A and B are shown apart, each in its own frame.
Chain A
Amino acid sequence: MKDRINKLIRRLTKTYQRRSIQFTISISFTAIAIISMGFVGLTLYEKYIENSKQLVTQKNKQLIDQASLNLNTYIRNMMNISDTMYYSVIKSKDLAIEDMDKEMALLYEVNKDNLISIACFDDSGKLIAASPVATMKTDVSVQSQDWFIQANRKIENLHFSKPHVQELFDDSNFRYYWVVSLSRVVSLTYQGNTSRGILLVDMNFSDIEQLFSKVNAKGEGYVYLTDSEGELIYHPRQKMIYTNLMEENNKTAAQYEDGTHMETFQKEERAVVVKTVGYTGWKIISVTPIKEIAINLNQFKFFTVIILGVSVIVIIFGNILISQKVTNPIRKLEKSVRDLESGNLNSHIYTGGSHEIQHLGKTITSMVNQMKYLMDDIVKEQEEKRKSELDALQSQINPHFLYNTLDSIVWMVESERYPEAISMVTALASLFRISLSKGKNIISIKDEIEHAKNYLKIQKVRYKDQFSVTLDIDPQIMNYSTIKLIVQPLLENAIYYGVESMRDEGMITIRGYEEEGDIYIEVSDNGMGIPFEEQSLLLTDNNRARKRGSGIGLINVQQRIQLYFGKEYGLQIQSELDEGTTIIIHLPKVEYKEEK
């Protein structure tokens, strides 16, 4: 398993590395951009969610506070009405002789937006006054109603009932009212005698409903109202709870302390904020399912995803474009190079793009140009070599030398001087053999000296001891290499231009030695010498007419030596008029190895 993973990784990295620069750049940049965007995005997102949650909880708290404030004001208002009715009206009335109808009607009219009715009963449940409607329903038992009983329980308090349908007055339009009853015990005065009565202010429940439905209009979660024991007073889905279509956690929630709590109810997590309303002990409870906060955030999530998506697309394409722009010159350069590889030396190398690419391009161009020159040089060199060799070879087949030598041989045979003839023929054969050297250009110095000796043998016969030869070759250098046919031409020159026209016996010396790591072969004669002006010309002037001889000439030798070994080697001429000439061959020390 691990092997497989390793293999895969290796394959991927290889593919990655092998791909074009553009691909690599695009992928890398895109990956980096996406990763960093993702990181930034995620961090910001988390923070935002954190913040939102806090905001929502805060907002809920504010809503509850607002609701509490409004409810307080409302309750206070009701209590004020009750107080006013009692302290400013009932207390000062002697009900034996006056009634409270006008004042009650006035108080009702002023507050009729919030009230259903104001009514005053005596202790036996008989109606004393009521506004706006005073016709009571038939067979209503006032004394058994909850508000009546509760008011009597604690005579010093105002009592708030649970919401209920008003069961007192007859409204002929089949109309019914949901009210919260505010009841209290009052002291009624009849001609100086006091007795107990109950003052009832029925508050319009739909006001409480409106108060809360405004608060509940915002989407996240809802707010409801219970009494101090948790019995529902208002719930936005009251109807559903009463018909058992849904449940609410009101009894439990009413027991919480004021403040924020987390609870789980019916498998849903919610944030619950509780606030107790003063005097009545009612509790305002706000519930926010955590899910709802999440749903609102879904919008944000969606938005984020879109932004990310757009950015990713923009980045990818942007990167592709940019990387293209960047790597275009490289690609063009690479194309030029490929062109080059396929042999087209004249292809135009791209020299555009960033200055690094430009530099590369220019360098490659100059390299290519250099290469071209060098190649041209080499080609020229090769050509010259061939030419020189061809020349050398050709000149070996100098007809005069051949005729003369063959004549000599014929004469010797006619003169029956057979050993000399044999020796001549043999020498001639040897000469030609080494000349050709099986087509090789490099031969050992030994062979070259051998060749020179053969030549000299032949020439000696022809020239009948007009000269003598001394060989002084260091045996050590015999095994080094040299170009063939360099000594013989010098000897030829020494014979024809040096000693031939001498009256005395000429002397030709061949010396070979090693000095300072190089090989030197000298051919000296004691002939006429070469005038100074001509010395330099000897090695350079190609068109100089050849007087005699095999015609290779010093120039050829010089050329070939230099072509093979370089310009630092070659011939040196030392000559003094009437004294003699020495031509020095300068060669490098190269071991001779038999080529196969």
Chain B
Amino acid sequence: MKRVSWIVVGVCFLSLFLIISSQVYSEKQTKSSKQISVILYGNNIDRWQSLKQGMEQAGKDYEGEVNYVLMSLEHDKEEQLSLIQREIDNHADAVIIAANDSSMDLSSIRLPSKKYPILCVESGVDNQDIALVSADNYKMGESLAMEVIDHENEIAKIAIVMNHQQRDSVKARYEGFYNKIVEKFDNFTFWRSEKGENRAIIFAQRELTQEAVDVVVALDNSSLEAVIDATLNLNKNVKIYGIANSDKAVYYLDNGKVKTLVYQDEFSIGYISVKSILDGTTYKKEKMSHYIKYHVVDDTTLYLPENQHVLFPFVK
């Protein structure tokens, strides 16, 4: 009888050990990588190619998976909030947002834990201690202003596109630009989309036909592309300066349609944002310190090696 009980004990120990070790092993294997949901404004993922590449690279390096969620329209605060909530409810381990409206109130979001990682890229939210990974938008505006100052005559009439100022990035760029530009210029006009104009090119064409300007300044991607398309369609001869990150803008910079482009390194933004979440240390606002680089390029400096690599991402 004694012997049988020993056998039973032995078998129990063995199976216990095997089960535990197989569990540990399989957990090691599928060390379930963290799921990060990235909610970007706009409905065109191609605009975010560089950002995506940076995020994918960081995901590979730090064992995380990134899911991209796009909006149905260019901008809709409520939709973005509901998407954030949806992703959190769908067991995302962290959320990265490019906020299309910086006044968005994130305190209404139900978080699964106090320390739930939320991070902004390219465009941030006003409140709370949510960090923003971006270039120094104010300085970008300033640099653009300096280019206009260097290249344009002081009597030039400058049109500034005021769309998307609800994003703090665009607002900061505007402030940086305006505070610098008034040093030389005083002839300004401000362009805005009106209600019902749901394609950006419409407002651009309207504004272009309405008044004659020498310089058009656009402070974000979709505005710049709209201005470019409008000037091509209407065959207008204006000097275009912009802050944007699109292939189209680079193309037209190359052929001289756009005079100067200020361009932030979105690959780094993507990489650093995902890395900060996955290695868990630095995504809190007080810890995020450095800004991402940006480049100021015109058609002569476009092909310089240091600019080439940023402006022309390898298409994987």
Contacts and interface: CB of A to CB of B under 8 A. Distances in A.
B14 A310 contact: yes
Contact of A164 (B2, B54, B303, B315): B303
Interface string A234-258: 0001111011110000000000000
B271 interface: yes
Contacts of B7: 317, 321
A6 interface: no
Interface in B1-57: 2-3, 6-7, 9-10, 13-14, 17-18, 21, 25, 28, 53-54, 57
Contact of B314 (A178, A310, A314, A325): A178
B255 interface: yes
Interface residues on A, range: 20 to 34
Interface residues of B, number: 40
Interface in B276-300: 293, 299
Interface stretch (B114-122, B184-192, B194-202, B243-251): B243-251
A318 B256 CA distance: 85
Q: Main SS of the interface on chain A?
A: helix
Most chain B CB neighbours (cut-off 10 Å) among A139, A242, A316, A325: A242
Contacts, number: 89
Nearest to B53: A239
A73 B10 CA distance: 62
Given A313-B13, A321-B10, A239 B18 contact: no
Interface stretch (B78-86, B100-108, B304-312): B304-312
Nearest to A178: B314
B268 interface: yes
B63 interface: no
A192 B275 CA distance: 65
B120 to A, nearest CB: 19
Q: Main SS of the interface on chain B?
A: helix
B203 interface: no
A167 B310 contact: no
Contacts of B314: 178, 206, 209, 238-239
A264 B310 CA distance: 30
Contact of B17 (A137, A170, A176, A313): A313
B303 A138 contact: no
A314 B3 contact: no
A298 to B, nearest CB: 9
Nearest to B303: A167
Contact of A242 (B2, B251, B310): B310
Contact of B312 (A165, A238, A317): A165
Contacts of B3: 321, 324-325
Contacts of A174: 247-248, 250-251
A242 B271 contact: no
Contacts of A209: 314
B255 A137 contact: yes
B18 A240 contact: no
B25 A176 contact: no
Interface in B164-184: none
Nearest to B314: A178
B256 A138 contact: yes
A302 interface: yes
B254 interface: yes
A243 B265 contact: yes
B267 interface: yes
Given A139-B256, A245-B271, A313-B14, A321 B6 contact: yes
Interface string B254-272: 1110000000010110011
Interface string A167-195: 10010001010100000000000000000
Nearest to B299: A139
Contacts of B299: 139
Contacts of A242: 306, 309-310
Contact of A309 (B21, B251, B256, B313): B21
Contacts of B21: 306, 309
Interface string A397-428: 00000000000000000000000000000000
Given A137-B254, A317-B10, A165 B308 contact: yes
A462 B265 CA distance: 155
Contacts of A239: 53-54, 57, 267, 309, 313-314
A429 B25 CA distance: 107
Nearest to A298: B28
Contacts of A165: 303, 308, 312
Contacts of B272: 245
B267 A324 contact: no
Contact of B6 (A139, A176, A313, A317): A317
Contact of A310 (B18, B28, B248): B18
Contact of B28 (A237, A240, A302): A302
9 contacts: A165-B308, A176-B247, A176-B250, A240-B57, A242-B310, A310-B17, A313-B13, A316-B10, A320-B6
Given A243-B267, A320-B6, 10 more contacts: A164-B305, A174-B250, A176-B251, A242-B309, A243-B309, A313-B10, A313-B13, A313-B17, A320-B10, A324-B6
Interface of B: 2-3, 6-7, 9-10, 13-14, 17-18, 21, 25, 28, 53-54, 57, 247-248, 250-251, 254-256, 265, 267-268, 271-272, 293, 299, 303, 305-306, 308-310, 312-315
